[in-house]
């Protein structure tokens, strides 16, 4: 605009200046050399023609120069416009822009594809309400807000239901569209179809959920084995006592005192059975919130749950505990203890020397450190790097799913925001040298 005005002024000024100079100097020159009227008239005519010819030539060159310049600029502008259009058209993201009334002024093919439209003319000039998006109200409100506040709305996830009721999940950013003067003339938006990505994420989450579910089932299986273990003895006592009472009656040697004693013992044992059920039931309760507990209580509850397995296998637990208060998911932490202890018990199967499991808890700065170590021989070098992977197990199918430690790692890192590690250690205990696995869990207090 500016260059055009200045070139008008330039051409007109040159023409004006030339005219003034021509009239002034040519008249003065003629007056100086010619005196008779006839010649003067003739020369004036010639001078007039000369003026027209020269000024036409000047005008021709100036206009040509200006025209070429404008042509050049126009070509350049067209090229830039083409490039811009190509960029928008080929951008790997959907782009569209609307005017102040919310009518579409432009969009690239990717956007047409996203909203299942074949032709651009089905979009241009239309509003969201014309396109029948069920989400039109939200779209219009967003546009209004951006236009009114002149502020962008970036990277938000929204739903768009396109033709044939196909729902797409998109990540959108909208910015106000400004003209040269800085006034808002509409909105410009980019949006990316993330439906597939979201579906994949959901699938991953589902798979993770499935793994958690499987591992819960696995630890439930282990627990049931523990219950069965724990019940065997009291059940056999009850059965023996009941058979005894019956036999004494049949033989006619029963007496009230003996019978009462046996019935009391039966009662005691059934109460014990009922209590073990409560212990296990509490363990299976899913904790949705944390509570404050002491590590000693936690350990006592854990050991109660697996006491019979420990006793049956002659395993001695050696405790070295600082009773630390912690706010945590109690059952999750018990599940971790049980998984690790069960693994040690399994590892002791082949062992025929003294079996020990050392449990140490201590507070270091603002961390709770739990170390569980056995003397069952440790974990082989080619195995140790994989023990936290899901489904990794060196046991046969019947005895291990390979989810125990995976689950421990998941719970510790994702749920309790801590860390867990394992190493094979060599150590002395009661003047004997042992090798074993040592698990270390660090939790933020
Ligand atoms: N204390 C340990 N001593 C020796 N090896 C161990 C010990 N703890 C774990 N492992 C090894 O780590 C592997 C993975 O343990 P993890 O608890 O994840 O699975 P699992 O015990 O095989 O099966 P489950 O899902 O029933 O727990 C085990 O198969 C075993 O080889
Ligand atoms: Mg295990």
Residue 435 CA to residue 438 CA, distance in Å, equals 10
Helix (H, G, I), strand (E, B) or coil at 267: helix
Residue 286 pLDDT grade (very low, low, confident, very high; cuts 50, 70, 90): low
Tell me: do 102 and 244 sit in the same domain: no
Compute the residue count for the chain: 445
Please indicate, yes or no, whether residues 276 and 291 belong to a single structural domain of this protein: no
Q: Which residues line ligand 1 (CB under 6 A)?
A: 218, 339, 343-344, 347, 374, 376, 379, 383, 387, 392-395, 400-406, 437
Average per-residue pLDDT in the chain?
A: 89
User: By residue range, what is the domain housing residue 343?
Assistant: 286-445
The predicted model gives 215-243 an average pLDDT of 79
Centre of ligand 1 to C-alpha 196, Å, is 37
Instruction: Write down the pLDDT at residue 273.
Output: 84
- Run of H or E including 175: strand 166-178
Question: For a substitution probing ligand 1, which of 225, 226, 381, 404 has the most ligand atoms within 8 Å of its CB?
Answer: 404
Residue 441 has pLDDT above 90, yes or no: yes
The larger pLDDT score, comparing residue 216 to residue 252, is at 252
Q: How far is the CA of 404 from the centre of ligand 1 (A)?
A: 7
Task: Say yes or no: 151 and 205 in one domain.
Answer: no
264: domain CATH number is 1.10.287.130
Ion ligand 2 residues within 5 Å by Cβ: 343, 404
Tens digits of residue pLDDT in 411-437: 898 888 899 999 999 999 999 999 999
Of the chain, the percentage scoring pLDDT greater than 70 comes to 95
Tell me, yes or no, whether 96 and 189 share the same domain. yes
pLDDT at 230: 72
Query: What residues are paired with 326 via a beta bridge?
Result: 293
Structural domain ending residue among the three candidates 41, 71, 88: 88
Q: Same domain for 388 and 437?
A: yes
212 band by pLDDT with thresholds 50, 70 and 90: confident
* Whether residues 188 and 203 fall in one domain: no
**Residue that terminates a domain, selected from 64, 88, 112:** 88
User: What CATH number is given to the structural domain containing 307?
Assistant: 3.30.565.10
H or E stretch at 255: none
Residues 309 and 165 both lie in one domain: no
Best residue among 349, 402, 420 to mutate for probing ligand 1's pocket (most ligand atoms within 8 Å of CB) is: 402
What is the pairing mode between strands 315-321 and 355-364?
A: parallel
Going by alpha carbons, the residue nearest to atom 8 of ligand 1 is 343
The whole-number average pLDDT for the span 19-36 is 85
Of the residues 177, 193, 209, the one at which a domain ends: 193
In angstroms, rounded to a whole number, what is the distance separating the alpha carbons of residues 317 and 423? 19
Position with higher pLDDT, 185 vs 280: 185
Judged against a pLDDT cut of 60, whether residue 1 lies above it is answered with no
69 plus 119 within the same structural domain: no
Average pLDDT over residues 343-350: 94
pLDDT > 80? residue 229 = no
3-class SS at 210? Answer: helix
């Amino acid at each position: 605009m500016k260059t055009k005005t200045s070139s008008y002024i330039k051409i007109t000024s040159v023409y004006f200046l030339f005219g003034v100079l021509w009239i002034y100097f040519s008249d003065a020159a003629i007056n100086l050399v010619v005196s008779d009227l006839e010649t003067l008239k003739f020369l004036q005519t010639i001078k007039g023609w000369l003026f027209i010819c020269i000024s036409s030539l000047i005008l021709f060159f100036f206009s040509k120069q200006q025209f070429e310049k404008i042509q050049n600029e126009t070509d350049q502008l067209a090229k830039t416009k083409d490039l811009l259009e190509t960029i928008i058209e080929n951008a790997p993201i959907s782009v569209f822009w609307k005017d102040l009334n919310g009518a579409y002024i432009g969009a690239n093919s990717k956007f047409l594809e996203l909203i299942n439209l074949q032709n651009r003319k089905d979009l241009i000039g239309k509003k969201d309400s014309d396109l029948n998006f069920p989400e039109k109200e939200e779209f219009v409100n967003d546009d209004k807000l951006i236009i009114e506040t002149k502020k962008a709305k970036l990277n938000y996830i929204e739903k768009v239901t396109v033709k044939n009721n196909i729902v797409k999940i998109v990540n959108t950013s909208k910015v106000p569209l400004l003209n040269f003067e800085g006034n808002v003339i509409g909105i410009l938006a980019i949006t990316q179809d993330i439906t597939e990505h979201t579906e994949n994420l959901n699938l991953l989450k589902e798979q993770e959920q499935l793994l958690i579910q499987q591992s819960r089932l696995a630890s439930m299986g282990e627990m049931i084995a523990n219950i069965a273990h724990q019940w065997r003895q009291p059940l056999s006592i009850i059965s023996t006592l009941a058979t005894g009472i019956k036999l004494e009656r049949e033989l006619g040697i029963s007496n009230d005192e003996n019978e009462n004693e046996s019935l009391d013992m039966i009662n005691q044992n059934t109460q014990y059975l009922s209590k073990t059920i409560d212990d296990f039931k509490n363990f299976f309760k899913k904790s949705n919130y944390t509570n404050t507990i002491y590590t000693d209580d936690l350990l006592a509850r854990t050991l109660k749950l697996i006491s019979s397995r420990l006793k049956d296998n002659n395993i001695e637990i050696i405790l070295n505990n600082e009773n630390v208060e912690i706010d945590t998911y109690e059952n999750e932490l018990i599940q971790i203890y049980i998984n690790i202890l069960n693994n040690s018990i399994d590892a002791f199967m082949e062992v025929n020397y003294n079996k020990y499991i050392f449990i140490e808890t201590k507070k270091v700065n603002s961390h709770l450190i739990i170390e569980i170590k056995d003397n069952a021989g440790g974990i082989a070098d080619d195995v140790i790097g994989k023990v936290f992977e899901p489904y990794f197990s060196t046991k046969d199918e019947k005895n291990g799913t390979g989810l125990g430690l995976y689950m421990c790692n998941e719970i510790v890192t994702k749920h309790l925001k801590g860390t867990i590690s394992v190493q094979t250690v060599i150590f002395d205990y009661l003047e004997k040298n042992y090798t074993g696995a040592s698990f270390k869990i660090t939790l933020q207090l």
